[in-house]
A and B are shown apart, each in its own frame.
Chain A
Amino acid sequence: EVQLLESGGGVVQPGGSLRLSCAASGFTFSNYAMGWVRQAPGKGLEWVSVISAYYDNTNYADSVKGRFTISRDSSKSTLFLQMNNLRAEDTAVYFCAKRDVSGWPRGYFDVWGQGTMVTVSS
């Protein structure tokens, strides 16, 4: 069964850092682009970042560029999101999602995790 399981969410003060992880199983992780999508409470989906299957090409939404870093460890089938200098507006459920192809932007997210909550508050 194809599965994505996020972890690492929690409560952090403004200016703090968190590292999210997403453990993948049931497919060849190294062959597919992966991404993070977030959803603030009561709001819609917002794309955060994406990383290609090969060459580790990355891209970020303007709202997180320079503060967040996406990475992957194909030997462990795990995706990461390092979040620094967190702001209140980063409060959201963060979903890990698999692209249907090795790159982007074409394609779509065909598998999603259940999400992990990040709360930025003093």
Chain B
Amino acid sequence: QSALTQPPSASGSPGQSVTISCTGTSSDVDDYKFVSWYQQHPGKAPKVIIYELNKRPSGVPDRFSGSRSDNRPSLTVSGLQAEDEADYYCSSYTDSNRFIIFGGGTRLTVL
């Protein structure tokens, strides 16, 4: 089963920006157009913060943005705040077998 690779950890100080990348290992991920990002605080359910690579659901602060850099989807958190400390997961799918796939997750620490 194909997977998405994320760095296990990232960190930044309050007010700084942090970028988390997501790399597909399968060539049949559909050009990353449908990558979504989820935020999960400890003991809580995941929450979508970015969908279709760069769209934000209503209610998600514009400090969160999605993009593609070096042909890899990325999540950028600008103006870091203490409450941004959480686990972040990218997600997409494999077109060949129509599996939904998640990255391994990145733990974001606000120093």
Where the two chains meet, the residues of A that have a C-beta atom closer than 8 Å to any C-beta of B are 35, 37, 44-47, 50, 59, 61-63, 95, 100, 104-110, 112-115
CB-CB under 8 A from B97, the residues of chain A are: 59
| Complex contacts, A110 vs chain B, CB 8 Å | 48, 51, 57
Residues of B within 8 A of A105 (CB): 34, 93-95, 98-100
Assembly CA distance A115 to B40 (angstroms): 13
- In the bound assembly, the distance between CA atoms of A47 and B45 in angstroms comes to 14
What chain B residues lie within 8 Å of A47 (beta carbons)? 91, 99-102
Residues on A with C-beta less than 8 A from B48 are 108-110
A45-B89, A45-B102, A62-B1 are known contacts. Are A108 and B34 too (CB-CB below 8 A)? yes
Using A47-B100, A106-B30 as known contacts, list a sample of 6 further A-B pairs with CB atoms less than 8 Å apart, ordered by residue number in A. Answer: A45-B46, A105-B93, A105-B95, A105-B98, A110-B48, A114-B45
Given contacts A47-B101, A100-B51, contact A108 B91 (CB under 8 A): yes
Q: Do the beta carbons of B47 and A112 come within 8 Å of each other?
A: yes
Q: Report how far A46 CA is from B1 CA in the complex, Å.
A: 11
- Most chain A beta-carbon contacts within 10 A, residue among B46, B47, B95: B46
Size bracket of the B interface? 20 to 34
Q: Which 8 A-B pairs have the closest CB atoms?
A: A105-B93, A108-B36, A112-B45, A44-B105, A47-B100, A108-B51, A45-B102, A105-B98
Q: Determine the distance from Cα of A45 to Cα of B102 in the docked complex, in whole angstroms.
A: 6
**CB of B103 within 8 A of chain A?**
yes
Residues of B contacting A46 with CB < 8 Å? 102
A108 CB → nearest B CB, Å: 4
How many Å from the CB of B5 to the closest CB on chain A? 12
Q: Which residues of A contact B45 (CB under 8 A)?
A: 95, 112-115
A44 to B88, CA, bound (A): 10
The answer to whether B104 has its CB under 8 Å from any CB of chain A is yes
Q: Give chain B residues whose Cβ lies under 8 Å from the Cβ of A95.
A: 45-46
> Interface digits, B75-111 against A, CB 8 Å rule (1 contact, 0 not)?
0000000000001010101110111111111000000
Closest CB-CB distance, A68 to chain B, in whole Å? 14
| A–B pairs, 27, beta carbons within 8 Å | A37-B102, A44-B87, A44-B89, A44-B102, A44-B103, A44-B104, A45-B46, A45-B102, A45-B105, A47-B99, A47-B100, A61-B1, A62-B1, A95-B46, A105-B34, A105-B93, A105-B95, A107-B34, A108-B34, A108-B36, A108-B48, A108-B51, A108-B52, A108-B91, A109-B46, A110-B57, A112-B46
